[in-house]
């Protein structure tokens, strides 16, 4: 169990730029989740995948956000035309199934200048 | 709407004191409940979980939680805290029509003084 890996750990960008984050789940975990956490709050659900299928998206996920998991392994989360309000910690988690505990990565902290 | 609320934002204790962190949830139907902990500079880690059965669940590091359905509560307890328990604690729930998707409380920061 090598854990959930997220890259980069920290991303600083100017408003209006596009950013992409990567998440490598624990191998053989078929579920992968993305959450967003802002200061003083708990993580908020964004979206999740069962293998390569994206099964649910939160209303928090505007049209500027897109997530993929093309081969059912790693996933990417892209934010286009970043805004100040996108500054947050983006967390990835994986699990063996819907009722199994989720294992979290260290997150990618996004800072918008 | 599904929601989880934690009663305290910041709790300060001395070593050996007893701990109870409150968590209430609002969910329709069957619910799975979790407590996660985040130590400084580390990722979220699962402390314990409740799916069904015995409402008193035991987790790692001497933590336990009690599911009280009538009160929609899942409070976290530890009889005697240690300095190393200093961390942020999150209550979370999954259920309804979307098993797996976690709804988190806002977190409780626990500071334990030696």
Residue B30 — very low, low, confident or very high, per pLDDT cuts 50/70/90? confident
**pLDDT computed for residue B23 by the predictor:** 97
**pLDDT computed for residue B2 by the predictor:** 86
Report yes or no: A94 and A102 within 8 Å, Cβ to Cβ.
yes
**pLDDT computed for residue A102 by the predictor:** 92
Residues A45, B32: Cα–Cα separation, whole Å: 16
Interface probe with A: pick from B43, B53, B107, most Cβ of A within 10 Å: B43
CA within 13 Å, CB half, B65: 30
Q: What is the mean pLDDT of residues B27-53?
A: 91
Q: Which residue of B has its CA nearest to A100?
A: B100
Count of CB contacts below 8 A, A vs B? 58
From A81-95, B22-36, B61-75, the region with the lowest mean pLDDT: B22-36
Q: Among partner residues B32, B42, B105, which is closest to A42 by beta-carbon distance?
A: B105
Is the predicted pLDDT of residue B7 greater than 90, yes or no? Answer: no
Q: Does B109 touch chain A (CB under 8 A)?
A: no
From A12-16, B24-28, B49-53, B93-97, the region with the lowest mean pLDDT: B93-97
Q: Which residues of chain A have pLDDT under 50?
A: none
Is the predicted pLDDT of residue B11 greater than 60, yes or no? Answer: yes
* Burial zone of A75 (CB within 10 Å; 0-12 exposed, 13-18 middle, 19+ buried): buried
Residues A95, B109: Cα–Cα separation, whole Å: 26
Residues B18, A68: Cα–Cα separation, whole Å: 45
Residues B14, B21: Cα–Cα separation, whole Å: 15
Mean pLDDT, chain B, whole residue set? 93
The per-residue pLDDT for range B44-63, each reduced to its tens digit, is 999 999 988 999 999 999 99
Residues A100, B82: Cα–Cα separation, whole Å: 29
* Burial zone of A105 (CB within 10 Å; 0-12 exposed, 13-18 middle, 19+ buried): buried
**pLDDT computed for residue A109 by the predictor:** 97
Residue B70 — very low, low, confident or very high, per pLDDT cuts 50/70/90? very high
Structure tokens at A102: 């989720």
Residue B100, sorted as left (phi over 0), alpha (psi -120 to 50) or beta, turns out to be: left
First to last CA, chain A: 36
The residues that bridge with A12 in the sheet, in sequence order, are: A111
Nearest to A106 by CA among B39, B9, B19: B39
CA A45 to mean position of chain CA atoms: 9
Which residues of chain B are within 8 Å of residue A90 when distances are taken between CB atoms?
A: none
What percentage of chain A reaches a pLDDT higher than 90? 83
Is the predicted pLDDT of residue B25 greater than 70, yes or no? Answer: yes
């Amino acid at each position: 169990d090598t854990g959930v890996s997220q890259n980069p750990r920290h991303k600083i960008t100017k408003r209006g730029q596009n950013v992409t984050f990567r998440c490598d789940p624990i191998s053989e975990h078929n579920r992968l989740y993305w959450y967003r956490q802002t200061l003083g709050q708990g993580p908020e659900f964004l979206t999740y995948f069962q293998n390569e299928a994206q099964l649910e998206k939160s209303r928090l996920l505007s049209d500027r956000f897109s997530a993929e998991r093309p081969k059912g392994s790693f996933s990417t989360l892209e934010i286009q035309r970043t805004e100040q309000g996108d500054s947050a910690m983006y967390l990835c988690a994986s699990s063996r199934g819907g009722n199994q505990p989720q294992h979290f990565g260290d997150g990618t902290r996004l800072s918008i200048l | 709407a599904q929601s989880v609320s934690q009663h305290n934002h910041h709790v300060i204790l001395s070593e050996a004191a007893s701990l109870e962190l409150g968590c209430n949830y609002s969910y329709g139907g069957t619910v799975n409940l979790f407590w996660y902990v985040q130590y400084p500079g580390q990722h979220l880690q699962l402390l314990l979980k409740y799916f069904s059965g015995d409402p008193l669940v035991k987790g790692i590091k001497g933590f336990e939680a009690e599911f009280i359905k009538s009160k929609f509560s899942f409070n976290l307890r530890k009889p005697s805290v240690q300095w190393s328990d200093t961390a942020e604690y999150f209550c979370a729930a999954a259920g309804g029509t979307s098993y797996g998707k976690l709804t988190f409380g806002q977190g409780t920061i626990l500071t334990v003084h030696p």
